[in-house]
Chains A and B, each alone.
Chain A
Amino acid sequence: MEPLRPFSSRVLPLIVDDVDTDQIIPARFLKVTDKVGLGKKLFSDWRYEADGSPKPGFPLNDPKHAGAQVLLAGHNFGCGSSREHAPWSLVDYGFRAVIATSFADIFGGNALKNGLLPIVLEPALHAELRAAVEADPNVEIHVDLASQTVTLPSGKSASFPVDPFAKTMLLEGVDELGYLLAKDDAIAAFEARRA
């Protein structure tokens, strides 16, 4: 995993509450045994017509948002199934962060493990960002994990919470498995104690 460095990006608004992982990637695309190419399936049923052509009006199909690396969602983003295909597809599409007023637990955890930053903004700042992006899709925000801040187009700096452990992992580009493997002695002692 690459270390998550500060970046600036335009923002793609998809202001829908309770977006479930079946919308992020429908179950019929879970028959794969790898992670390749899932970005093309991202939001499939909202994004494509029955014949596979892009649905007009859906933000991912709107050229004015092309290249945005931040998805601006609503409340409780990523609810439903535990499929990690959801963050895999968002990352494969090119997103590096999702901003919402809250996230479902499993999705939030899965996102962090894939270098996709789930950023919780309080409703007033979320509304400000939404208004700015809807007024001008070319405005940019700046995301800095080290300082846990998003700089909004107005120049206002908004801080967001991140689990300190996950933050270290993301900044160093390492994953949790290394940490767990290093706990081998403690795990063996636990197993011996219970045997």
Chain B
Amino acid sequence: MKTLFDKVWDSHVVAEDPGAPAVIYVDLHLVHEVTSPQAFTGLRERGLKVRRPERTKATMDHSTPTRKGSDGRFVFVDAQNEAQLEVLRKNCADFGIELFALGEASNGIVHVVGPERGLTHPGMTIVCGDSHTSTHGAFGALAFGIGTSQVEHVLATQCLLHARPKTFRVTFEGTPGLGVSAKDLILALIAEIGVGGATGHVLEYAGDAIRALDMEGRMTVCNMSIEAGAKAGMIAPDDVTFQYLAGRDRAPNGADFDAAVQAWKTLPTDEGARFDRELRIDAAALVPRLTWGTNPGMGVAIDQPVPDPAQMQDAQAREATQKALTYMGLEAGKPLLGRGVDVVFIGSCTNSRISDLRAAAKIFEGRKVASGVRALVVPGSYDVKKQAEAEGLHRVFEAAGAEWREPGCSMCIAMNGDQIEPGQVAVSTSNRNFEGRQGKGGRTLLASPFTAAAAAVTGKVTDPRTLLS
């Protein structure tokens, strides 16, 4: 009896010497401009080629501008960003790698375009020099982030060395209520187990609340596995998965698709298979959540007060809580509801897909962004942008007074000039609220698209359920 993880892992072990980690074959290697240049330099220094260029796909997303000037050209914040894209372009040309370049219809955030093109399949091993590679686990793939040294290893050998991780199943039971989304499920888990809570483990998400999610919601959940310290997060493939993949340009088609589905159906965890750890969460009891502190584990239900260090026994926890409250400009033990907001960011590999934009538009529809608030809506890819514009969502955002941008990582990592100012408070649908993550000195509250949009139209932290009918 095997878990989903066991099945994918076991079928990718190329070799396993005594005393050495396993040599694991990589089916799909995704590459972006930030974590790859030094790896290509390494290949050149050793005179190596890319072993399987056809299993390697590159995109530009972190350093890309999301704004065009009146001349229709992208506005780069500095020459370094532009140079980094040029280096990727040259590396892909020199080594024969397909590139979803800025300006092309296929371009977008790496973890949005992989699934959307149909490149991500159940049962695959997928790596990328990016910790949010865990996103692809939503399809029942084993997908994780690697460092640049390993990017070089995979480019050269299509393999990497890895010790077998442990397994950890989290079962979300019951049906979440109105306004409670995939983001709230994963934020609840991270708050419960902490940012190091799943270190050394591959998570499998199971239960009714996970089964009920569409693929985009499942991607949101798996995306933030790394924020609990997990190696990866996975969800067993089912009909929802197969329907999503059917007809995508890089997915198998015709008889090949039917054969693939038969194979994919063997992947789910066998009845009675054992996990190293298990946890159950009552999804029906969850309400919208957001983070108050400086890591994704510092979160609360939206109607709860932020913690009070004076109530804490452990000295180190007390100190960390006080430090985070001070950085965030929050008072111990006070509610977050009503807290004023300067910026709202809807985007990132966590929440920039069409369903996320539809959710945000539901709140923006017929309302205005509150005075003094800057709201930025950044689709995850050109496909998402095109779909949103076909549905008229961009008009909803623009009519409300939000900025509708070109796709990219944008204000999640603040490398491209989209950033918040020191001291500003942002409600963001992205994945990290670390100090300065969205701009030096900035203060980030992580939340779902519903909750972020609710903050935009009210100018303060607001329970989105009060705005949803």
Contact = CB atoms under 8 A, between A and B. Distances in A.
Interface stretch (A2-10, A64-72, A173-181): A173-181
B156 A181 contact: yes
Interface in B30-65: 34-35, 37-38, 41-42, 46, 48, 51, 62-63
A187 B25 contact: yes
A187 B195 contact: no
Interface in B338-386: none
A191 to B, nearest CB: 8
B161 A82 contact: no
B199 A102 contact: yes
Q: For this complex, into which size category does the number of interface residues on chain B fall?
A: 35 or more
Contacts of A79: 195-196, 229, 295
B80 interface: yes
B432 interface: yes
Contacts, number: 168
Interface stretch (B66-74, B95-103, B140-148, B209-217): B140-148
A163 B306 CA distance: 40
Contact of A23 (B14, B161, B422, B434): B434
B466 interface: no
Contacts of A87: 147
A75 interface: yes
Nearest to A33: B37
Interface stretch (A51-59, A109-117, A142-150): A109-117
Interface stretch (A24-32, A89-97, A133-141, A151-159): A24-32
A79 B37 CA distance: 23
A83 B161 CA distance: 18
A83 B35 contact: yes
B329 interface: no
Interface centre among A16, A79, A80, A175 (most CB of B within 10 A): A79
B159 interface: yes
Interface string B187-202: 0000000011001100
Contacts of A80: 131, 226, 432, 434
B83 interface: yes
Contact of A82 (B38, B147, B160, B422): B147
A164 B153 CA distance: 20
Given A22-B435, A183-B157, A187-B25, A76 B199 contact: yes
B84 A106 contact: no
B20 A183 contact: no
A191 B200 CA distance: 28
B55 to A, nearest CB: 10
A81 interface: yes
Interface string A92-136: 000000000010111001100110000000000000000000000
B31 to A, nearest CB: 13
Interface in B133-188: 145-150, 152-153, 156-161, 163
Nearest to B11: A194
Interface centre among A31, A163, A183 (most CB of B within 10 A): A31
A142 B334 CA distance: 47
A179 B17 CA distance: 11
Contacts of B81: 31
Contacts of B277: none
A177 B153 contact: yes
B108 interface: no
Interface centre among A20, A102, A110, A183 (most CB of B within 10 A): A20
Contact of B415 (A27, A50, A175): A27
A60 B67 CA distance: 38
B443 interface: no
Contacts of A105: 199-200, 229, 231
B436 interface: yes
Interface centre among A76, A80, A113 (most CB of B within 10 A): A80
Given A80-B432, A165-B20, A165-B161, A190 B25 contact: yes
Given A20-B432, A22-B432, A22-B436, 17 more contacts: A27-B414, A28-B440, A31-B83, A33-B87, A75-B316, A81-B130, A83-B147, A84-B129, A84-B147, A104-B199, A113-B149, A165-B161, A179-B161, A180-B23, A180-B153, A183-B15, A187-B159
24 contacts: A18-B195, A18-B295, A20-B432, A23-B435, A23-B436, A27-B414, A33-B37, A33-B84, A33-B87, A76-B195, A76-B229, A79-B196, A80-B131, A81-B432, A82-B147, A84-B38, A109-B150, A165-B19, A177-B42, A177-B153, A180-B156, A180-B161, A183-B14, A183-B23
The 9 nearest A-B residue pairs measured at CB: A33-B37, A76-B196, A110-B147, A82-B145, A84-B147, A31-B80, A84-B148, A113-B149, A22-B434
